[in-house]
Amino acid sequence: MINFISDDCYWVGADDHSTDLFEALWPLPKGISYNSYLVRGQKTALIDSVPAGFLPVLLDKINRVFKDKPVIDYLVINHMEPDHTASIDMLRSIFPEIKLIGNDRTKDLLKAYYDITDGIIIVNDGDTLDLGDRLLQFHHTPMVHWPETMMTFDPASRVLFSGDAFGGFGTVDEGLYDSEREEASTEDELFRYFSNIIGRYSAMVQKAIDRVKELNPRVIAPTHGSIWRTNPARIIDLYERWNSHTTDPGIVVAYASMYGTTQKAVEAVTGALSEKLVPVTVHNLAHSHLSYVLRDIWKYRGCIFAGPTYNTALFPTLDALLRLVENKLIPSRALGTISSYGWAGGASAHLKEFAKRNKWDLVEPEINFAGRADEATLENCCFLAENMIAKCFTEELS
């Protein structure tokens, strides 16, 4: 079957059901798609490509679009990450006439990753490429997700090839278009993709969103996940909300507990929160992947980190989470902390240093105890719950 996006524009991508972790990091319970598009005028452009192992799938789809021997004149490189470029060498062998379209940063990365220095056409922001009877227009959107990222717009059909932006996890074999993939397009999974992949440089992402709104696309065709054909405004609105860190009312609790003592304190807090009907999402870091925890921290206004001391430092799984949150530049949240130790502390200081470095708003009382959580500690946990509610639902963050 040939998938039409609009007149003489086709999806020629591939579904990946076998990779467990995207970027060797983010879980893919429903796989992922590598979306590539073929746009035909008098000349033909392939927009983005696929990992090398999926090239036969791409070529098979291209062959079905052409009645005769396929000719690809241009490969538009919206994004250089290898999930979209690792087949470039082979594509150049199969289509020796192909020219690579990218910007100055693309050129540097082509040299760095593939030692390619020839056959490159550099396009500046706003430049167009004439395919004969249709134009492609290029819009630079740096840091969404790498410095060379750009989007390609077909003004006649108003299809926007948006690169990683507006994409999602999950294969598209259950439906290529937004209207057909309700389950895979759930807000939680789209948010996980945004928070894991896209959202770090919010100012640059906002510039890209503003540009997209100016273009007013009829269709948004990203490099992963559903094509937004029925309701592109939905994903633009979601991106504006997530990127501005407009948080939901609720508290996410991420904890580690080696022998259950930290968990007992956590349960005292979550029990007190639940009694007040506060939405609480709890992640035991022995079970939850950081991908999902990161999404929920991005989502909610309040956050409680809890874990024991481990060789004078923070317990490794909680430490890894804090490093990831810091790396993703998540701005101020209301933060409650629970830490424990056996004979010498350490976790408490690390949690407070995290809050200070990232300008998160520490909520009193700090819970830090030796050994087990005694009655006084559990009572303090209830005070922490009350203060978290006050911070998250009635007070502005400092």
Compute φ and ψ for 121, nearest 5 degrees. Answer: -105, 120
The first and second tokens of residue 123, run together, are: 């396009």
Q: Which is nearer to ligand FEO, 16 or 83 (CB)?
A: 83
Residue 31's identity, in one-letter code, is: G
Whether a cis peptide bond, with omega within 30° of 0, leads into 365 is yes
Tell me the C-alpha distance between 58 and 384, whole Å.
55
Q: Which is nearer to ligand FEO, 70 or 147 (CB)?
A: 147
Report, in Å, the least distance between residue 143 CB and ligand FEO: 11
In the shown chain, the binding pattern of residues 204 to 223 toward ligand FEO, with x for contact by CB under 6 A and - for none, equals -------------------x
Taking CB under 6 A as the criterion, the residue among 15, 73, 81, 178 binding ligand FEO is 81
- Closest-by-Cβ residue to ligand FEO is 81
Q: Which stretch binds ligand FEO (CB under 6 A): 78-86, 176-184, 255-263, 373-381?
A: 78-86
Structural contact between residues 49 and 58, judged by C-beta atoms closer than 8 angstroms: yes
Q: Which is nearer to ligand FEO, 48 or 73 (CB)?
A: 48
Residues in contact with ligand FEO, counted by CB under 6 A, come to a total of: 8
In the shown chain, the binding pattern of residues 161 to 180 toward ligand FEO, with x for contact by CB under 6 A and - for none, equals ---x----------------
In the shown chain, the binding pattern of residues 38 to 57 toward ligand FEO, with x for contact by CB under 6 A and - for none, equals --------------------
Residues numbered 88-147 forming contacts with ligand FEO, rule: CB under 6 A: 145
The first and second tokens of residue 196, run together, are: 């894991």
Chain length of the chain: 398
Taking CB under 6 A as the criterion, the residue among 84, 140, 301, 391 binding ligand FEO is 84
**Does residue 121 sit in helix, strand or coil?**
strand
319 touching ligand FEO, by CB under 6 A: no
3 state SS for 174-192: CCCEHHHCCCCCCHHHHHH
Specify burial of residue 380 (Cβ count, 10 A radius: 0-12, 13-18, 19+). buried
In angstroms and rounded to an integer, the radius of gyration of the C-alpha atoms of the chain is: 24
Residue 112 CA from chain centroid, whole number: 24
Tell me the C-alpha distance between 362 and 388, whole Å.
10
Tell me the C-alpha distance between 389 and 272, whole Å.
10
Report, in Å, the least distance between residue 146 CB and ligand FEO: 6
Taking CB under 6 A as the criterion, the residue among 15, 16, 73, 83 binding ligand FEO is 83
192 touching ligand FEO, by CB under 6 A: no
Report, in Å, the least distance between residue 229 CB and ligand FEO: 20
Chain residues binding ligand FEO by CB under 6 A are 79, 81, 83-84, 145, 164, 223-224
